[in-house]
Amino acid sequence: MAVTIKSEREIDLMRKSCQILAKVHNELGQAIEPGMSTLDIDRLGEKLIRGYGCIPNFLHYNGYPASVCVSVNDEVVHGIPRADRILQEGDIVSLDAGLIYKGYHSDAARTYGVGKISQEAQQLIDETRNSFFEGIKKAKAGNHLHDISNAIDAYISKFGYGIVRDLVGHGIGTALHEDPQIPNFAQRRRGVKLQPGMTLAIEPMINMGRCDVEWLDDDWTVVTEDGSLSAHYENTILITDGEPEILTLL
């Protein structure tokens, strides 16, 4: 599949989809507290998304059973919400959510500390977020896709963290996953040339320890092989003639 270039009309719909998702994420972030179950978070997320008249795009995607992926501590992504998984003070929790507005998808993820967390955990969260912003400094028309990947890798490597290689970012639009795939680690090839009108979900997944991950028996939950903590930060962005627009931030 080729990389799609969105028209002005489509860009407006993407903006609206993403702005609603940004609000959903803000409300979810404010709700996080010790004692909450991961299912409580999913229920709230689905209620918020539907309350805005939108559809949760993760729900039933390839059989995924929830609207929000809730991944705790060594869970990297795609944690399945459960009533008996209770957030404890000191945990870190990654929330990945998306929605469809008038046929247009948005996708974003945030990692939060639950109550007071260790300084090391906070640094992992902060540097994962910072790596996204380093990456999108290169998200300019005329640059190549892998300039973004290389910038994320160069930034994260300074900390000795592991960059997840088995999962990547992606184009997004009338489908949740469009071309191109967007690795968060250094590439030898340049990748596609960036053009105004491309909408991309850029999503570094960073482990405090090694990069290796494995899948749990539920066939969804991705965990670090060494049991180390993992953080995730994702926004849907628009390539423009100038600076990229981060569509999923308010």
Interface with ligand MF3 by CB under 6 A: which residues? 58, 61-62, 64, 69, 78, 96, 107, 170, 201
Q: Name the strand (E) or helix (H) holding 38.
A: helix 38-51
**CA dist., res. 89 & res. 5, Å (int):** 44
The answer to whether residues 184 and 205 touch, using CB atoms and an 8 Å cutoff, is yes
Among ligand MF3, Co ion, none, partner that 78 touches (CB below 5 to 8 angstroms by kind): ligand MF3
- C-beta of 70 vs 194, nearer to ligand MF3: 70
46 in contact with Co ion (CB under 5 A) = no
How near is the Cβ of 242 to ligand MF3 at its closest, in Å? 26
The answer to whether residues 97 and 24 touch, using CB atoms and an 8 Å cutoff, is yes
Q: Which of 26, 98, 100 is nearest to 68 (CA)?
A: 98
Binding mask 151-190 for Co ion (x = CB under 5 A): ----------------------------------------
Among ligand MF3, Co ion, none, partner that 58 touches (CB below 5 to 8 angstroms by kind): ligand MF3
Which sign does the torsion angle of CA 37, 43, 22, 232 carry? positive
- C-beta of 166 vs 243, nearer to ligand MF3: 166
Q: Binding to Co ion (CB under 5 A): which residues in 101-130? A: 107
**CA dist., res. 69 & res. 54, Å (int):** 17
The answer to whether residues 135 and 151 touch, using CB atoms and an 8 Å cutoff, is yes
- C-beta of 127 vs 203, nearer to Co ion: 203
201 in contact with Co ion (CB under 5 A) = yes
Q: Which amino acid is at 84?
A: D
Chain residues binding Co ion by CB under 5 A are: 107, 201, 203
